[in-house]
Structure 1
Amino acid sequence: MPASDRLPRSVRIGYGSGSVATGAFGTVPGLMLLPYLTDSLGIAALLAGFIVFLPKAWDVILNPIAGRISDRTEDPRGPRRPWLLKAGLALAATFALLFAAPEMATWLEALWVLVVFLACASAYAFFQVPYVAMPAELTSSYDERTRLMTWRVALLAFTIMLAGATAPAIRDAVGGRDGYRVMGLAMAAIILVGVLSAYVGTRRAPVHAPLPGAGSLRDQLRIVATAHDFRWLLTCFVIQALATGCILAGVDYLASDVLGKDGATTILFVCFVGPALVLTPAWAAVGTRIGKKRGYTYASLILAAGALLIVSAQSVPAAAVYLAVGLVGVGYAGCQVFPMAMLPDAAAVDARRTGSNRAGVYTGVWTAAETLGLALGPGVFALVLAIGGYRSSTDGDVAQPDSALTAITLGISVLPAVLILLSLVWLRRYTLDAAEVDETVSA
């Protein structure tokens, strides 16, 4: 790789630290919000699923708009960095309020969560979309984007483990609704650290952005829709986001209702994310050796196999379930590295061919679809709980029928495994490789 294509390590780390914010926000609501609604506020599972889903559905509309706005932003700091700071600070502030609903009528508590979560989702859109758009403008190298994603995914995995393990531990240590309030403040502080680190850490990052694409947002979306490789990759990724959303939503239920062990949620999260901390560089090396598409396929198959093994959770020792979740974590690491490295390839190829910067529109569509998948995951899992007859409560201390335990097990194992395997149908159609990307960049 030419020296001019390499990014300083400080820039890689600075950019990757933004995943501290995205990882905390992406993990904690998916893990804790549904149990908060059903087992603390006493809201029925179907209504709780709707509350979790609606703000994310709003992001599907907002994300492409946020991308287009950031494409057209003119600032000495670059088109993306100002949004990292402004939207990131708003995200931390609103997240601190999310789990802090005052005690009042149940419908007002539900409304509080819905409105505050909508505010969180809006702030997140204007942070996440510019953040994801940056790699296409930081380097023109196919392999350097993979190296950049290695730092991002490693820090993402660390944050998922930190937030996923400590959030339930803080809640349980304090207890009751106060436990959720303290947990929300702690996670907001983590988000703030990620926001400031990303903003400061990328201050010396090179930016090579073509002029913003001409035409309206609708025109830009129509052009992006004709990018076949992007469309196949996006479809694969959003289906996998749906599967991941189901897994995240089911972890706390699996730990408390199926395994019934104190601290099991934390252990499950360590098993899920721990392999990613170790294996993310290995997956990057695999991608360099055999290509991103093949690496993505192998990672997906490992993730699906691990999920299928969880189906035996009701009849095997807890240790066996932890091992299965660890295998899921091995696959999950690769399923984050490769698509995140393939997205800027598609955006950069388009920019080099046309001379127009649509990176924000590409990432706006991408994050909108990812958000939709992650939002549908808890909603679908809540539907599975309702079909299984799950019993909501205000203290979480209620015996669940066998049908509910079966629903929890299937919702976190067979359902996501089937979705992962289904996603590979679209991944097979993706054709961009190193030769085509480098040829386009050279041209």
Structure 2
Amino acid sequence: MLLYIIIAFLFVVYFAIGVMLYKRRTERNIKSRSPVLIYITHWSNLIETLLAIPILTPKDFNLYDLDYYENRLYQDSALISHYLVFFPYILRCYRLYFVFHLDKDWEIQNNMFKENIHRTRQRWLVKMLCFCMIPIILISVVFLFWPNASEIFPLNLSRPSNNGIDIPDCVYIMACFTEQLVLIIGIYLIKDVSDDFNMSNELIYVGFIWFLTPAFSIYIRSYQIVWGIPYILRNILLMLRSSLVPIICSYFNKPLFEPLTIEMLNSLELTLQNAATLEAFEEFLKLEELTTTKSFGSINTGSGLSLLEFYLKCRLFANNGSSQLAENIFSEYLENKVVHIPAEIYLEIEDGDFTDANLFNKAESVVIEKLKSYFYPKFMASDQYLFLKRLIHRQEIYQFRLMQTSLHEFQINEHKKMVVECDDWPVPTLD
């Protein structure tokens, strides 16, 4: 009775999540994952789970009383549904790798991508899924019509065994090993892929969850409940991560992607407004400070890192107007002579209103000029700058690929600014 309740409960949960997947199919968090493959995985997962539960206690479900064709059809259904869960994950791994992977030969790879762009589309992925399922269907047909196939096919419900490992067990273990090997290769290929919706993290998670069942594969017929519980648990975890989590995440707005451009690198002001360029500039200043702090002090320039920190804190003060923050800035950087500014500006700040958002405007201008005239030219000849240029080139290739594989539409964000949205693919985040 308990198992029937569990079956009914799981059916309701899977059905509800499946309906939500369909309703949210146009959301980027789901659309970027290839909705058709998600549907196939989700419903095949349900079928496989419902077929696996009776195997826990075959006698209670009268599985041993099935006639020849009922037995074979039951097992064929389990086999087909299993690989309709497995193959879509592999195809999604391939799609991620094909779009986001770049190595040293960028231009060659980009030309290959242009020539094979059809591989990123759902229609091609579904065709490949059908192609992958051909051998599985052939095996199912052979098993259905060849009586002796039961001697090599696992999950033979009419012949329970506790005599140790035999041919069906070996076949099952080999199949599990092959699945693990393919998943390991897929995980390795996408391990460095970065995307806004963590699809690579999802597939890596799937790979580790998939390893639950092979550990108990030797009990497939001798101790079916020991094999079946991890098997069912694995499917439920896969459903939660691949179906439910994307639905939940689709209700949360993602921040708009902020692309890098060469023009940004030519301007200090723009460099300080982007997280990636600011981080690179800060790293450069830290390295400079280790070797040239004394030299900077002798020419009354001050530490570049201190100048940057002073400027950023002044910007923070201008936004929130905290008098406590103003006092901290004055005492830490100006009063202690960490940042050097003209005496008249220093006195003006000292006698000024510490709640005035414009209190440090003149000091900011002096600091920006020092950073721009002395430090930024050196930054433009640094390894950090070259890294950013390479990152921009890489990003441009990504953007081109995404535009070629996506449906585009213009949407107005909450600030009424016009931005381009990629419906089918997320924009890659910066590492």
Normalised by the size of structure 2, how large is the TM-score? Answer: 0.29
Which has the higher relative contact order, 1 or 2, with Cα contacts under 8 A spaced 6 or more apart? 1
Instruction: Decide which structure has the larger Cα Rg and report it.
Output: 2
Normalised by the size of structure 1, how large is the TM-score? Answer: 0.29
**Structure that is richer in helix per residue:** 1
